[in-house]
Structure 1
Amino acid sequence: MYTYRPLNELDLELICGFPQTPEELFYMSPRSGFPLTPQQVMDLLENRLEPTVIVEASTDRPVAYANFYDVKDGSAWLGNVIVAPDHRGKGASKELLQTMMRLAKTKYGVNSLHLSCHNTNTRGLVFYHKQGFKPYEVNITTLNGDAAMITIQMKRDLTEL
């Protein structure tokens, strides 16, 4: 059973262990360096809203994390999405996404939630599609002179929630 709460400073070390590889960290936060550090998470929060953790109800242990950015004109972007390795495929990601969609709609009046997902993140693309997100734009992304990657912009209408 899962519940949610705002991120607190004691969660940072645990969340930094969620991305297991540089590729996973890239999916979560393309500009962060592996391994993720608490300071990197705090730096990201300078322009983010509603840093939220999904926790095991029995232990209050964080198992998933996300936040919002660019909240304006009835839309918002979902960012820094990550799930603990031992909770992947167990419903934590669905709980996180549903929680963030509810928060976006009820707290910020958001009607359209957007996200970016990289073409190599097949598991993420399948998950977001199953949750009603639709692709609407494709961009070519390069960071630090690395090879080009396709970034797929997706969105979901929240008016039916």
Structure 2
Amino acid sequence: MIMDGSTRMDLLPFADAHAVTVAGWPTSAGEVVMWCGQQEFPVPTQTITAWNRDEDVRAHVLVEDDKVVGYGELWFDAEEDEVELARIIVAPDNRGKGVGRVLVRGLFAQALGEGFTDVFMRVHPDNENALRCYREAGFAPVDAALAENWNSAQPAGYVWLRGDAEAPRS
């Protein structure tokens, strides 16, 4: 259970039945690119369920009053001893209300609870709302040289962020 003020939200494991709901959230092809890098709009539900077949991916939904309001994934990399938060999206009606921050903090807590302290995320540089949300959730940009190195193999010049385990979680 995650509390945000007086609101109770639960971070639950993703189930295939959630894919229909999540697939309906991106409002444009541009939003799909910023969310998950896909070129197909709308994103097929089968794509979302397929993401979760990877053994290193653990997807979650954030639920408020029995309604799914957020989706995000943890990508575990045992070889590098790190976790990446990925494919974070909030239902359109819930954007701008702190739901994304609650979701990111919950996913970050899951990663820390698994014993990982190196927790990263990459964000499309044009996604200003997401960048603001993630900074408010305790993430800060990595060193510019490290970001440049990581971006050398990426399709976009992402902003790379690292979670601060010492940041307040209120």
Query: TM-score band (shorter)?
Result: 0.7 to 0.9
SS in 1 for 2:105: helix
Matches of 2:19 and 2:137, distance apart in 1: 27
User: What is the one-letter code of the residue matched to 1:80?
Assistant: R
RMSD across aligned positions (CA): 1.9
Deviation of 1:71 after TM superposition, in Å, equals 2.8
Q: Structure 2 residue aligned with 1:51, among 59, 74, 91?
A: 59
Find the counterpart in structure 2 of residue 146 from structure 1: none
| Residue 89 of structure 2 is aligned to residue 82 of structure 1 | yes
Structure 1 unmatched ranges of 5 or more: 143-148
Find the counterpart in structure 2 of residue 117 from structure 1: 123
More strand by share: 1
Matches of 1:90 and 1:76, distance apart in 2: 26
Deviation of 1:89 after TM superposition, in Å, equals 1.2
Q: TM-score, normalised by structure 2?
A: 0.80
Map 1:10-159 onto structure 2 (within 5 A).
Answer: 10-31=17-38, 33-47=40-54, 48-56=56-64, 58=65, 60-72=66-78, 73-106=80-113, 108-136=114-142, 137-138=147-148, 139=151, 141-142=154-155, 149-158=156-165
- Residues 101 and 134 in structure 2, CA contact (< 8 A), matched pair in contact too: no
Q: TM-score, normalised by structure 1?
A: 0.84
Deviation of 1:134 after TM superposition, in Å, equals 1.7
Matches of 1:134 and 1:91, distance apart in 2: 18
Structure 2 unmatched ranges of 5 or more: 1-6
Find the counterpart in structure 2 of residue 6 from structure 1: 13
SS in 2 for 1:46: coil
Matches of 2:157 and 2:109, distance apart in 1: 29
SS in 1 for 2:157: strand
Deviation of 1:100 after TM superposition, in Å, equals 0.3
Deviation of 1:78 after TM superposition, in Å, equals 0.6
Matches of 1:15 and 1:90, distance apart in 2: 18
Query: Structure 1: which 4+ aligned runs deviate by more than 3 Å?
Result: none
